[in-house]
């Protein structure tokens, strides 16, 4: 067997380097030899056994399988399943360690494989230099470091910009000043050609979310009027700028990320948080589910992980995020209690997996939770309502329960004396979407799990309303008056 081992020092903290490398589907974003990559079967990119299929810049295709991954040890191993070159029984290991004399990282990349005798030297050089050394240089470049003896072309991905690079006219909904729905107006706009690291997208569907209302009112000053709101959309790539890889004209894509700007027909934006869509997920579903589904993923799996046997309370259980929380939590083995505002919404919540829908306008939900749980209370409460429910949500908690306040549709939560929570040893979280989705690796990991849940029908998305993009003001009115169910999308 041939043994290849290379190592290097990266002048960056070990956790920062690990955040890049641990994404088994992220090598298209940093390795100069990889053009695009996707995980098969919608599996999570950090799940042992997942398979990545990727295309090289020279057109060759490979399939590699993740064998194991340890965040504690900062190491993973993988093997080649299919390749256009005879790297036989190829198994590789990647490991990181902090350097003790400074905030730096030691990175070792090694492998063993068999090869035809007449190609052994060629393939050894290819693996050691073309894969490992080139990868080291590319990651150094990501941290702004010159790689000794490395051709400067490796400092950025040398991908030729693709598409018709001319300004494109379109339309957009603009916030002319902070205020009510009436401040939204339609304007003609121009989407400029993509620059370095950017992509231009023609939207086919746009998601409506409560953060759009906060942006419009100025409660979240995410834009300075006049400006375009919207955090979520799906569409087709028109063209890409220099340094973009993994995305090409014609690709179906979606995103849910700041800065706002999605309420438009054509948009030029940074490419790093845009993700390709699997064939089985439509543009409308993607626009309806990206922000809500990514939120549900980190709420259920990262902020307050739900486990089998838990009892949870979901406020606004018939809403877009609420329905996803109910479906996913039921799949994880939890008993779901939900609050809703009407009998019709109770039916929707029950269909989504809510075993005990409570019409909060008719019944005290705290008393009903106590009754259902035989006095124990809920392990977790997911509360997007805010002022009207926060303190009662605490009352509904079990001992050592976790109250997750992730929205405030009824208004800001008044000041709270944290000492009061000692009576239940309660945990309170107020997660920020951007803190869980701020990097390409984080977005990929969340979307891998979300797309897998959608493809396997663990999650089914209800699009309750569609509005023309020009009628965004009417859509905002419906959302704020709680006249919507499920997700709402805007169609350009």
CATH number at 79 reads 3.30.530.20
Give me the residues paired with residue 428 across strands: 403
For residues 175 and 184, give the distance between their C-alpha atoms in angstroms, rounded to a whole number: 5
Whether residue 152 has pLDDT greater than 70:
no
Residue 184 lies in a domain: yes
User: Count of alpha carbons within 13 Å of 468, Cβ hemisphere only?
Assistant: 5
pLDDT (0 to 100) of residue 165:
64
- Determine the 3-state secondary structure of 349 from DSSP: helix
pLDDT (0 to 100) of residue 161:
45
What percentage of the chain carries pLDDT values higher than 90? Answer: 74
Quick one: 332 and 398 in the same domain? Answer: yes
pLDDT tens, 3-46? 999 999 999 888 889 988 998 988 988 999 998 899 988 788 88
* Dihedral sign (CA 369, 372, 375, 379): negative
Residue 133 lies in a domain: yes
Residue 449 lies in a domain: no
pLDDT interval class at 145 (50, 70, 90): low
* Dihedral sign (CA 347, 350, 355, 356): negative
262 within 8 A of 235, measured Cβ to Cβ: no
Residue 456 lies in a domain: no
For 223, the domain range is 168-290+464-491
Give me the residues paired with residue 98 across strands: 105
Residue 298 lies in a domain: no
Whether residue 160 has pLDDT greater than 60:
no
Residue 458 lies in a domain: no
pLDDT (0 to 100) of residue 149:
39
What percentage of the chain carries pLDDT values higher than 70? Answer: 95
* Dihedral sign (CA 3, 9, 13, 16): negative
Quick one: 149 and 41 in the same domain? Answer: yes
Host H or E run for residue 180: none
Residue 435 lies in a domain: no
pTM: 0.66
For residues 216 and 221, give the distance between their C-alpha atoms in angstroms, rounded to a whole number: 8
Whether residue 157 has pLDDT greater than 70:
no
- Determine the 3-state secondary structure of 294 from DSSP: helix
pLDDT: which is higher, 411 or 489: 489
pLDDT tens, 328-371? 999 999 999 999 999 999 999 999 999 999 999 999 999 999 99
Quick one: 322 and 279 in the same domain? Answer: no
Domain with residue 483: its CATH number is: 3.90.180.10
Quick one: 321 and 196 in the same domain? Answer: no
Please give the tally of structural domains in the chain.
Answer: 3
pLDDT interval class at 76 (50, 70, 90): very high
pLDDT tens, 188-229? 999 999 999 999 999 999 999 989 999 999 988 999 999 999
List the one residue out of 347, 323, 319, 322 whose CA is nearest residue 478: 319
pLDDT interval class at 249 (50, 70, 90): confident
């Amino acid at each position: 067997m041939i043994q290849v081992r290379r190592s290097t020092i990266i002048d960056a903290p070990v956790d920062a380097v690990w955040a890049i490398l641990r994404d088994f589907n992220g090598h298209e974003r940093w390795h100069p030899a990889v053009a695009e990559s996707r995980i098969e079967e919608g599996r999570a990119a950090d799940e042992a056994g997942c398979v990545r299929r990727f295309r090289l810049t020279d057109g060759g295709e490979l399939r590699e399988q993740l064998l194991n991954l340890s965040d504690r040890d900062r190491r993973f191993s993988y093997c080649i399943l299919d390749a256009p070159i005879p790297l036989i029984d190829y198994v590789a290991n990647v490991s990181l360690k902090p350097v003790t004399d400074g905030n730096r990282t030691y990175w070792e990349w090694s492998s063993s494989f068999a090869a035809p005798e007449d190609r052994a030297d060629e393939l050894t050089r290819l693996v050691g230099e073309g894969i490992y050394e080139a990868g080291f240089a590319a990651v150094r470049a990501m941290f702004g470091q010159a790689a000794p003896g490395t051709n400067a072309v490796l400092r950025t991905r040398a991908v030729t910009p693709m598409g018709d690079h001319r300004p494109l006219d379109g339309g957009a909904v603009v916030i002319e000043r902070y205020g009510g729905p009436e401040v939204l107006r339609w304007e003609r706009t121009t989407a400029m050609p993509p620059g370095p690291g950017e992509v231009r997208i023609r939207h086919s569907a746009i998601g409506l979310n409560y953060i759009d209302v906060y942006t419009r009112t100025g409660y979240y000053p995410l834009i300075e009027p006049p400006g375009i709101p919207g955090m979520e959309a799906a569409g087709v790539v028109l063209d890409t700028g220099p340094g973009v890889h993994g995305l090409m004209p014609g690709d179906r894509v979606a995103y849910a990320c700041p800065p706002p700007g999605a309420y438009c027909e054509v948009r030029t934006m940074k490419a790093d948080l845009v993700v390709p869509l699997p064939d089985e997920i439509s543009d409308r579903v993607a626009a309806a589910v990206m922000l809500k589904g990514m939120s549900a993923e980190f709420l259920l799996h990262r902020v307050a992980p739900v486990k089998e046997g838990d009892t949870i309370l979901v406020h606004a259980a018939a809403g877009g995020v609420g329905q996803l929380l109910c479906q996913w939590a039921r799949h994880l083995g939890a008993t779901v209690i939900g609050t809703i505002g009407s009998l019709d919404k109770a039916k929707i919540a029950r269909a989504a997996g809510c075993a005990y829908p409570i019409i909060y306008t008719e019944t005290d939900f705290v008393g009903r939770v106590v009754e259902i749980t035989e006095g124990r209370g809920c392990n977790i409460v997911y509360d997007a309502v805010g002022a009207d429910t926060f303190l009662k949500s605490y009352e509904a908690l079990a001992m050592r329960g976790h109250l997750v306040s992730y929205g405030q549709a009824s208004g800001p939560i008044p000041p709270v004396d944290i000492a009061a929570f000692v009576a239940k040893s309660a945990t309170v979280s107020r997660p920020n979407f951007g803190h869980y989705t701020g990097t390409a690796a984080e977005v990929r990991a969340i979307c891998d799990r979300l797309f897998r849940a959608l493809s396997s029908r663990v999650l089914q998305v209800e699009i309750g309303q569609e509005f023309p993009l020009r009628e965004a003001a009417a859509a905002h009115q419906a959302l704020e008056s709680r006249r919507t169910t499920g997700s709402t999308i805007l169609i350009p």
